Structures are given as C-alpha cells and as structure tokens.
C-alpha cells in the first residue's frame, strides 16, 4: 500500500474564539460536544481528495494544528510552526479585538517561517513585531490563508447583514462565517464546503512546491505527526 502524504495547517486565533470547535466540525463533520481549553497544541487529521475529479486526483491527510490561544504559551507554541503549508485565522464575530489580533497571530507565524529561512519570506527579520503582513502575503508568500469568523448565531441582525457581505479581506483570502455548533454550515455541497475544499487544494499545492524546493536545495523536512495532543509544560 502506498503511503499517504500529509500537509500541515496552523489554526490560529485568540483564546476562546472557537478554534477547537471549528477544527472538530471541519474534520468530523459534526459539532464537538464539549470543547476543552487547548493547552499546548492539539492535532486533528482528515482525508482530502486533492484535485478531485481530475487525472491528478490524489488522497492527502490534512493536519489541523490547533495551538492554544493563551499568551502564556507564546514561546512554546513556536515549535509547532514549522513546517506550515497554510493557515486558518479564526476570530469571534462578536469580538472585534479578536479580528484585529489576527495580524499579530499571522506575524508570529510568518516570523517563525522567516527564522527558518523560507525563501518566500526573504527580507523579513525574525524578530520584527511590525511585519507588513498585507504586503508580504500580497506579493511574496504562497502560503494560503483562510479567514474564519465564528459565533454567527450571536451576531445581531443589523450586523449580520454587513458581516455576511464580506468575502474578500485584507489577507486576500476567502472567508467562512459560521456557527461552529451547527453541522449544516460546512455540509457537503454548501459554498463553505467548496471554499474549504479549494483551500485544502491550495495548501497541498503549496506543500508540493515546498517539497520540490527542498529536493532541489536538500533542506531537511520535519517528520510528520499523526492525530495526537501536545501539552505545554506550563499551564496558565
Ligand atoms: N454560540 C457559539 N459558541 C461557540 C461557537 N464556536 C465556539 N463556541 C463556544 O466558544 C467556547 C470556546 O470554544 P473553543 O472551540 O474551545 O475555542 P478555542 O479558540 O479553541 O479556545 P482555546 O482552547 O482557549 O484556544 C466554547 O464554549 C464553544 O462551545 C459558535 O459558533 N457559536
């Protein structure tokens, strides 16, 4: 039996925005019953058909690396950021600050990539706090980003009209708005499910690009890890 390749997606956002709830729904097609507070990092895996329906169709494992959103884990979670083939940025639609903070999350991730010498991020200082994310993503980076807005059920009607209209955003990515406790938001055939599938395809393309680059330059790749949980030695 041939082995199945895998890709890693980092799932980032403030504590309590719904990262674990979203990942569970995306990987199991049903809502999580009682999400627990993520300490360190938790990994979920799902199978995805890359370029389904074409001659290039191939099965991949998609790994969701859900890192705890607490600031206390800032240093420990950096070890999980490499390799990274795509990122899901999660914010709570009822909490504007959580959306503003996504830039910080992406900066933390991209700084880590830069520190690891990713050619796409050349010129980025590894300790820079003020990374120009829009510029960087717009011109140079191939890393696919998906924006996820949770707790749509708690947004009042007036705001709901305006949030529903947003599709393109500053990260130039697609966006999914949902209630993570309702399976219908990611049900097969919905526009959200199509967006997710397209996003996984882009992530896989990015990993294939990485692999070709590594083969050419002989860079080491990190051993893959299966569905498991990692715990930080420091709890809050
Ligand atoms: N009403 C509503 N509640 C949600 C939604 N998504 C998540 N929640 C709730 O928000 C709380 C936090 O959700 P989690 O999925 O644990 O959030 P997290 O981002 O993983 O949090 P950390 O583990 O602290 O990083 C839980 O009580 C969830 O049930 C949603 O779309 N609607």
Compute the distance from residue 36 Cα to the ligand 1 centre, in Å.
9
Q: What is the average per-residue pLDDT within 67-94?
A: 83
**Atom 3 (ligand 1): residue with closest C-alpha?**
151
pLDDT at 71 over 80: no
Atom of ligand 1 nearest to the CA of 69: 25
Tell me the per-residue pLDDT of 8-24, one tens digit each, with 9 for 90 and over: 999 999 999 999 999 99
Cβ atoms of 171 and 134 closer than 8 Å: yes
Q: Identify which has the larger pLDDT, 15 or 138.
A: 15
Residue owning tokens 């995805």 = 48
Tell me the per-residue pLDDT of 210-236, one tens digit each, with 9 for 90 and over: 777 766 655 544 444 444 444 444 444
For residue 104 the two structure tokens come to 């910080």
Confidence at residue 45, expressed as pLDDT on a 0 to 100 scale: 95
Q: Measured between alpha carbons, how far is 41 from 68 in angstroms, rounded to an integer? A: 6
ipTM greater than 0.85: yes
For residue 105 the two structure tokens come to 């999350």
Mean pLDDT of the chain: 79
Residue length, the chain?
236
Max Cα–Cα distance, the chain, nearest Å: 54
Domains, the chain, with CATH or none: 5-217 (3.40.50.300)
Instruction: Please classify residue 56 by burial: count the beta carbons closer than 10 Å to its beta carbon, then call 0-12 exposed, 13-18 middle and 19+ buried.
Output: exposed
Q: Beta-carbon neighbour count of residue 191 at 10 Å?
A: 10
Compute the distance from residue 14 Cα to the ligand 1 centre, in Å.
10
Cβ contacts of residue 139 below 8 Å, gap of 6+? Answer: none
For residue 12 the two structure tokens come to 């980032």
Q: Ligand 1 site: residues with CB under 6 angstroms?
A: 13, 15-21, 35, 37-38, 68-69, 150-151, 153-154, 179-181
Instruction: Please classify residue 117 by burial: count the beta carbons closer than 10 Å to its beta carbon, then call 0-12 exposed, 13-18 middle and 19+ buried.
Output: exposed
Q: What is the average per-residue pLDDT within 139-154?
A: 85
Confidence of residue 137 (pLDDT cuts 50, 70, 90): low
Confidence at residue 136, expressed as pLDDT on a 0 to 100 scale: 55
Tell me the per-residue pLDDT of 87-111, one tens digit each, with 9 for 90 and over: 999 999 999 999 999 998 988 888 7
Report field, pTM of the whole predicted structure over 0.95: no
For residue 139 the two structure tokens come to 């011109």
Confidence at residue 235, expressed as pLDDT on a 0 to 100 scale: 44
């Amino acid at each position: 039996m041939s082995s199945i390749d895998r890709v890693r997606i980092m799932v980032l956002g403030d504590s309590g925005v719904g990262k674990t709830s979203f990942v569970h729904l995306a990987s199991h097609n049903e809502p999580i019953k009682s999400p627990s507070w993520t300490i360190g990092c938790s990994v979920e895996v799902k199978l995805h058909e890359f370029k389904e329906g074409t001659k290039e169709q191939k099965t991949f494992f998609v790994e969701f690396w859900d890192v705890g959103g607490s600031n206390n884990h800032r240093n420990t979670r950096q070890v999980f950021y490499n390799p990274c083939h795509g990122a899901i940025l999660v914010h709570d639609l009822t909490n504007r600050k959580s959306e503003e903070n996504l830039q910080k999350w992406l900066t933390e991730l991209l700084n880590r990539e830069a520190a690891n010498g990713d050619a796409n991020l050349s010129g980025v200082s590894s300790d820079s706090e003020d990374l120009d994310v829009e510029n960087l993503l717009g011109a140079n980076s191939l890393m696919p980003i998906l924006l996820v807005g949770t707790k749509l059920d708690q947004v009042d009607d007036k705001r709901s009209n305006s949030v529903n209209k947003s599709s393109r955003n500053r990260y130039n990515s697609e966006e999914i708005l949902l209630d993570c406790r309702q399976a219908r938001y990611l049900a097969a055939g919905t526009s959200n499910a199509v967006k997710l599938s397209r996003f996984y395809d882009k992530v896989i393309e990015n990993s294939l690009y990485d692999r070709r680059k590594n083969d050419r330059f002989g860079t080491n790749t990190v051993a893959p890890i299966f569905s498991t949980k990692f715990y930080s030695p420091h709890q809050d």
